[in-house]
Structure 1
Amino acid sequence: MIKFIFTTLLIIFFIRMVAPPLFRWLLGMFIRKKMRNGSFFYTNMHQQQRQQQEQQSQNGRAKGDVSIDYIPERPERKSFKGGEYVDYEEVK
Protein backbone atom coordinates (compact mmCIF):
# COMPACT_ATOMS: atom_id res chain seq x y z
CA MET A 1 0.00 0.00 0.00
CA ILE A 2 2.84 2.39 0.85
CA LYS A 3 4.55 1.53 -2.44
CA PHE A 4 1.36 2.44 -4.36
CA ILE A 5 1.00 5.78 -2.53
CA PHE A 6 4.68 6.60 -3.09
CA THR A 7 4.42 5.76 -6.80
CA THR A 8 1.25 7.85 -7.16
CA LEU A 9 2.86 10.83 -5.43
CA LEU A 10 5.96 10.47 -7.61
CA ILE A 11 3.84 10.47 -10.79
CA ILE A 12 1.84 13.49 -9.60
CA PHE A 13 5.08 15.33 -8.79
CA PHE A 14 6.46 14.53 -12.23
CA ILE A 15 3.32 15.73 -13.98
CA ARG A 16 3.08 18.97 -11.96
CA MET A 17 6.75 19.96 -11.68
CA VAL A 18 8.91 18.28 -14.29
CA ALA A 19 6.70 17.81 -17.36
CA PRO A 20 5.77 21.48 -18.10
CA PRO A 21 9.36 22.80 -18.16
CA LEU A 22 10.47 19.73 -20.12
CA PHE A 23 7.77 20.23 -22.76
CA ARG A 24 8.51 23.98 -22.93
CA TRP A 25 12.20 23.23 -23.48
CA LEU A 26 11.47 20.63 -26.18
CA LEU A 27 9.04 22.96 -27.97
CA GLY A 28 11.58 25.79 -27.82
CA MET A 29 14.27 23.55 -29.31
CA PHE A 30 11.92 22.50 -32.12
CA ILE A 31 10.98 26.09 -32.97
CA ARG A 32 14.61 27.29 -32.83
CA LYS A 33 15.63 24.49 -35.20
CA LYS A 34 12.84 25.38 -37.64
CA MET A 35 13.69 29.09 -37.46
CA ARG A 36 17.37 28.34 -38.04
CA ASN A 37 16.54 26.32 -41.15
CA GLY A 38 14.13 29.00 -42.33
CA SER A 39 11.38 26.48 -42.77
CA PHE A 40 9.02 27.48 -39.97
CA PHE A 41 6.86 29.84 -42.04
CA TYR A 42 8.33 29.54 -45.52
CA THR A 43 7.65 25.84 -46.19
CA ASN A 44 3.92 25.81 -45.54
CA MET A 45 3.22 29.01 -47.44
CA HIS A 46 5.06 27.98 -50.60
CA GLN A 47 3.91 24.38 -50.38
CA GLN A 48 0.27 25.49 -50.56
CA GLN A 49 0.98 27.73 -53.56
CA ARG A 50 2.79 24.89 -55.30
CA GLN A 51 -0.14 22.51 -54.72
CA GLN A 52 -2.59 25.04 -56.15
CA GLN A 53 -0.44 25.52 -59.26
CA GLU A 54 -0.17 21.76 -59.77
CA GLN A 55 -3.93 21.34 -59.47
CA GLN A 56 -4.53 24.09 -62.00
CA SER A 57 -2.09 22.58 -64.48
CA GLN A 58 -3.56 19.09 -64.05
CA ASN A 59 -7.15 20.22 -64.44
CA GLY A 60 -6.42 22.61 -67.30
CA ARG A 61 -8.75 25.20 -65.85
CA ALA A 62 -8.56 28.06 -63.40
CA LYS A 63 -9.43 27.79 -59.75
CA GLY A 64 -13.13 28.29 -59.10
CA ASP A 65 -14.36 26.98 -62.45
CA VAL A 66 -17.24 24.55 -62.31
CA SER A 67 -17.90 21.72 -64.71
CA ILE A 68 -20.85 19.35 -64.53
CA ASP A 69 -20.26 15.95 -66.08
CA TYR A 70 -23.60 14.26 -65.44
CA ILE A 71 -27.08 15.50 -64.63
CA PRO A 72 -29.35 12.69 -63.46
CA GLU A 73 -32.94 12.62 -64.68
CA ARG A 74 -35.50 13.63 -62.10
CA PRO A 75 -38.37 11.23 -61.58
CA GLU A 76 -41.80 12.79 -61.93
CA ARG A 77 -43.34 13.65 -58.59
CA LYS A 78 -46.89 12.75 -57.84
CA SER A 79 -48.84 15.75 -56.69
CA PHE A 80 -49.42 15.82 -52.96
CA LYS A 81 -53.12 15.39 -52.25
CA GLY A 82 -52.96 15.90 -48.51
CA GLY A 83 -52.22 13.75 -45.55
CA GLU A 84 -53.79 12.34 -42.49
CA TYR A 85 -55.09 14.84 -40.02
CA VAL A 86 -54.62 14.12 -36.34
CA ASP A 87 -56.96 15.46 -33.70
CA TYR A 88 -55.19 17.24 -30.90
CA GLU A 89 -56.20 18.71 -27.61
CA GLU A 90 -54.81 22.06 -26.61
CA VAL A 91 -53.26 22.07 -23.17
CA LYS A 92 -53.34 25.31 -21.17
Structure 2
Amino acid sequence: MKLLFNVILIFMLLTAFVPPFRRFLFHLLVGRQLVKEQKKADQARQRTGRNNINVDHVPPGANQSRYQGGEYVDYEDVKD
Protein backbone atom coordinates (compact mmCIF):
# COMPACT_ATOMS: atom_id res chain seq x y z
CA MET A 1 0.00 0.00 0.00
CA LYS A 2 2.81 2.37 0.89
CA LEU A 3 4.58 1.52 -2.38
CA LEU A 4 1.49 2.43 -4.40
CA PHE A 5 1.17 5.72 -2.52
CA ASN A 6 4.84 6.53 -3.20
CA VAL A 7 4.46 5.76 -6.91
CA ILE A 8 1.38 7.97 -7.18
CA LEU A 9 3.10 10.75 -5.25
CA ILE A 10 6.19 10.63 -7.48
CA PHE A 11 4.01 10.60 -10.59
CA MET A 12 2.08 13.64 -9.39
CA LEU A 13 5.27 15.54 -8.51
CA LEU A 14 6.81 14.75 -11.90
CA THR A 15 3.66 15.88 -13.64
CA ALA A 16 3.48 19.08 -11.63
CA PHE A 17 7.11 20.22 -11.73
CA VAL A 18 8.85 18.67 -14.76
CA PRO A 19 7.75 20.25 -18.07
CA PRO A 20 9.42 17.65 -20.37
CA PHE A 21 7.56 14.90 -18.52
CA ARG A 22 4.28 16.80 -18.94
CA ARG A 23 4.92 17.23 -22.68
CA PHE A 24 5.68 13.53 -23.01
CA LEU A 25 2.45 12.58 -21.21
CA PHE A 26 0.45 15.01 -23.33
CA HIS A 27 1.95 13.51 -26.47
CA LEU A 28 1.08 10.00 -25.30
CA LEU A 29 -2.47 10.84 -24.30
CA VAL A 30 -3.56 13.48 -26.81
CA GLY A 31 -0.86 14.13 -29.39
CA ARG A 32 -1.33 11.02 -31.48
CA GLN A 33 -5.07 11.59 -31.74
CA LEU A 34 -4.50 15.19 -32.81
CA VAL A 35 -2.15 14.09 -35.58
CA LYS A 36 -4.69 11.53 -36.81
CA GLU A 37 -7.49 14.11 -36.88
CA GLN A 38 -5.32 16.63 -38.73
CA LYS A 39 -4.42 14.05 -41.37
CA LYS A 40 -8.09 13.11 -41.75
CA ALA A 41 -9.08 16.77 -42.17
CA ASP A 42 -6.32 17.34 -44.75
CA GLN A 43 -7.44 14.34 -46.77
CA ALA A 44 -11.07 15.51 -46.67
CA ARG A 45 -10.04 19.00 -47.80
CA GLN A 46 -8.03 17.56 -50.70
CA ARG A 47 -10.97 15.42 -51.80
CA THR A 48 -13.41 18.32 -51.85
CA GLY A 49 -11.03 20.65 -53.68
CA ARG A 50 -12.09 23.80 -51.89
CA ASN A 51 -8.67 25.44 -52.15
CA ASN A 52 -9.71 27.71 -55.03
CA ILE A 53 -9.86 31.46 -54.53
CA ASN A 54 -12.08 33.51 -56.82
CA VAL A 55 -11.61 37.27 -57.15
CA ASP A 56 -14.23 39.31 -58.97
CA HIS A 57 -12.91 42.12 -61.16
CA VAL A 58 -14.13 45.59 -60.23
CA PRO A 59 -14.34 47.85 -63.28
CA PRO A 60 -12.58 51.23 -63.03
CA GLY A 61 -14.86 54.06 -61.97
CA ALA A 62 -17.33 51.76 -60.23
CA ASN A 63 -16.56 53.10 -56.76
CA GLN A 64 -16.65 56.79 -57.72
CA SER A 65 -19.50 58.64 -56.09
CA ARG A 66 -20.79 62.18 -55.95
CA TYR A 67 -20.09 62.37 -52.19
CA GLN A 68 -17.09 64.67 -51.71
CA GLY A 69 -16.95 64.78 -47.92
CA GLY A 70 -18.88 66.26 -45.04
CA GLU A 71 -19.20 69.70 -43.52
CA TYR A 72 -16.78 70.95 -40.89
CA VAL A 73 -18.43 71.33 -37.49
CA ASP A 74 -16.81 73.53 -34.86
CA TYR A 75 -16.77 72.17 -31.34
CA GLU A 76 -15.57 73.17 -27.90
CA ASP A 77 -13.95 70.98 -25.27
CA VAL A 78 -15.97 71.09 -22.08
CA LYS A 79 -13.94 70.25 -18.99
CA ASP A 80 -15.66 69.36 -15.77
What TM bracket, shorter-length normalisation? 0.3 to 0.5
TM-score by length of 2: 0.38
